[in-house]
Structure 1
Amino acid sequence: MRVLSALICSVILTLSSVSALAQESLDKVAVIVDQGVILQSEIDELVNTVKDNAAKNNQSLPSDRALRTQAIEKLITDNLQMQMADRMGIRVSDPQLEQTIANIAQSQNRTVAQLRQDIISSSMSYDAYRETIRKELITGEVRRANVRRRIYITPQEIATLMELIKEQGDAQAEYRLGHILIGFPVEPTDQDIADARERADKVINLLNNGSDFAKIAIASSSGAKALEGGDMGWLNINAMPTLFAEVVQGRPVDSLIGPIRSGAGFHILKIMETRGIEISTVEEVNARHILVKPSIILSEEKAEKMLKDFKQQIIDGTATFADLAKKHSEDPGSGLKGGELGFADPEMYVPAFKNALAELAQGEISEPIRSVHGWHLIELLERRIDDATDKKQQEKAYQLIFNRKFAEETDSWLREMRESAYIEILDDGTS
């Protein structure tokens, strides 16, 4: 029996070794990115996702090699941002993640259970979907933290844009742009610029001869939207990069524009669609809240229960919302004012907070809700229809300038981070 037992153990160890070797041969390190790595399976998964989406949309794709190159570049950028998130201590907890997924489901008029079933039906595991959303939240926060401090907006810029908005009126055009960037290094040589210009001219010729814009973008673009076929989505004329705004105004649908040189390379644009902006009013809300932040001492469950107890005290008349906010709220800006936030556009709030406000009637108090800031108890005080005041015009101008500069600076920041990183591609995909 001892001999038989030893033989069985030996077989198990051998099979385990073979399995490990097989797994290693199937999944290996494909790229070294500073202190991190990108696995072959990650590249394959992203490529397959792009192919599946293209098949669903009846969209043609470039060669597998070109597609793989674009996938590697996106994964490198994501990996560098995740490494920076680790250094900055940026995390997304499970409750925050679940709240975000619930918001996504609600925006699609689905329950979380229905959304989960949709994900599973699309051949993606729900766990993988959750981690994809978590990564998007983390990288978004990394970008905001690093890019926001690079943006400076002068009062003169705001005043100039306000004047332009008044001249144009509310019926401003929006453009859905296709974008291809033929990039060159941060500090290019004359040869780098000449080579990039030559490639850009070839791309223009291909497009003028009927080549598919999305396919060319996926194969050739260095832009952030390359894997989406270069689709930048709908952009207000004042929200798009200044360089683009100067050349698209007055141009018809299907116009090809470029190459246009910038510090990033040569840009090629296609006007996919245009539309006007209808005049609309903006509803503002005045609300108050009590914010409680979980900590090592205060767990998620205890924080939520604390707010449920506060709500019951308010209902029973043993305490007022204002008094509880002054005593317990961890929002320094509103706590001293009894939790009152003042009239504001709900869009300025984080999704969980905004969505909770949308469900409340005047004078109603929410159940405790979790946002990226912590747990909130919210009371809707009043709704009103906002008129076009100078303050609103100023806020609109500031946001349009900020959005444009944020997009421009994000591209620059990503390129600089990529240029300064140690990148070693161990497998170019030809073997």
Structure 2
Amino acid sequence: MNKSFFCRSFSWPKCSSFLAACVLLPFSVFAQPSAAPLRSADFVVAVVNSEPITNQEVQALSLRLQRDARAQGLGTTVSEIKKLALEQLINDKVQIQQAASLGVVVDEAAINQAELSVANNNQMTVEVMRSRIQQDGLSIKTFRDQLRQQLLLTRVREREVDNRIRISDSEINQFLSEQIQRQAAKTTSELNLAMILIGVPENSSPEQIKVLEDRAQSVLTRARNGEDFASLAAAFSTSPDRGANGGAMGLRALDRYPELFVQATSALPVGGVSNLVRSGAGFHILKVLQRQSPPSTLLVTQTRARHILLRPSAQLSQAQAMEQLGSVRRDILSGRADFAEVARRISQDGSAAQGGDLGWASPGMFVPEFEQTMNQLRPGQLADPLVSRFGVHLIEVTDRRDAPMTDAEQRNLARNALREGKLEEAYASWVQDIRGKAFIEMRESPQ
């Protein structure tokens, strides 16, 4: 099954506040608007291993933290925010120095890719993004320096913090057991019963009831002797739908059957026939056609999608690709074009021969910008053109299902979830260690 060149190998996303890739953030978060200086000249507020942190740096980060606090509805004071900003700058400084001592570097190619990803995430070209950045008062050099720093911090944290985390097999087994129990609690058992009803009219005399019971017992004996249950239902059942489906009532949750039926069939295997069940309607003969218990393995929601990909080039700009796929989308929605036919004709992806079909995909198989848009679509829904790091896509979701995970997928999920739970503690411990080895001199308080 071709998963296209822009796919990633199966891995469950590793998410954390400090490991989240900076390339997925809007470029505005990197901008640090200048604060109006309260002194005519900047001054040093702290020194970390001979490297200074200035008041303007604290002011710029404080403004960003204030904006974030307001967005989250937090009532943090300006004084508290400045303390947080200074602490973050000190921690970043010691981590960057640690990266340098370990020889961790970020080359220009990585920065170029990060810049392209930030632009794509904001649905614009690099040129348009750079223009916007300059309009906001931030130089391109400063922006790229900030990208370099974010990538450097991410790499050193991944390298150093991950090495501190240990996940045992017993922890994985316990995690999976708990998750399967939670899943089972939300998933009810289902049952498919076939029924023959020998109805007893109201006001029947005891003699009439005895005749009907004897008839029901005779039919039960024939069913247990191997006669076709559906034929017996068609011949003897007084239920209105006896002939349509051989008495089968369909797979349904246990709570959608009368409690009498559930109790009468609870110990029967598939194919088993119950004793006579007496209800207000008459005498029932029940056969178990199918049982479906909650799955003993974790389920994953898989999506089946198809796409058309255009890659910008010297002959086709990103804006032109967006416009072309926008036109294609309108033609498909109006019925003037067929998605698969257009994909085979113009898509620049390996899936083109399959009409753009990407097959069933589990979470984490596609790059984030593609997957985020795909996950927001309902089956049959067509997205607006999307820019990813690989080009411009037109995505349609065709189906969605819950599928059992393989053992390897389950253990991979458990390992990453357990690692995520330990990341914060491991990160805090690592920062404390390297900060404890650093020489930190506090100078003047930030203004």
* Structure number with higher helix proportion: 1
TM-score relative to the length of structure 2 = 0.42
TM-score relative to the length of structure 1 = 0.44
Structure whose alpha-carbon radius of gyration is higher: 2
